[in-house]
């Protein structure tokens, strides 16, 4: 087999491996976040959440509705002041904090 043919065959294989690793790594991170997210309890301190999930992707104000997993917990009566988001390729994990940095809401959103 000549060198040019080896090169032509090797390039798509290497690119495919790199793409597989990138996709697999992001899927692994999302799975790990899901396991950590399931362990979060009401009134957990932010320090514990960061120990499990690390630094969030973004921070925003809480919405009008409080959530606990997929269950609506009623209107936000001021308990939730800050919402942090952990975003991955196919999903986003959100955690809401009170003024004393305790968990008051959490929700998992899946992207299509």
Tell me the three state secondary structure of residue 13.
helix
Task: Tell me the C-alpha distance between 98 and 83, whole Å.
Answer: 9
- In the chain the domains, ranked by start, together with CATH numbers, are 3-110 (3.30.1450)
Q: Are 84 and 56 a contacting pair, CB within 8 Å? A: yes
- C-beta neighbour count of 37 within 10 angstroms: 20
Q: What is the pTM of this model?
A: 0.77
Q: What is the pLDDT of residues 7-46, one digit of tens each?
A: 767 777 777 767 666 666 677 778 888 899 999 999 999 9
- Mean residue pLDDT across the chain: 86
Alpha carbon 10 to its chain's center:
35
Q: What is the pLDDT of residue 107?
A: 94
- Whether the pLDDT of residue 100 is over 80: the answer is yes
Task: Tell me the C-alpha distance between 39 and 76, whole Å.
Answer: 23
At 82, is the pLDDT very low, low, confident or very high (cuts 50, 70, 90)? very high
């Amino acid at each position: 087999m000549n060198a040019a043919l080896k090169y032509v065959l090797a390039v798509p294989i290497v690119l495919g491996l790199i793409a597989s690793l990138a996709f697999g790594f992001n899927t692994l991170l999302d799975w790990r976040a899901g396991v950590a997210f399931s362990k979060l309890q009401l009134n957990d301190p932010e320090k514990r959440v960061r120990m499990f999930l690390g630094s969030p992707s973004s921070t925003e104000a809480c919405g009008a509705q409080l959530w606990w997993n997929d269950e609506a917990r009623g209107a936000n009566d001021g308990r939730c002041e800050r919402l942090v988001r952990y975003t991955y390729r196919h999903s986003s994990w959100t955690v809401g904090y009170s003024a004393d940095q305790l968990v008051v809401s959490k929700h998992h959103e899946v992207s299509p």
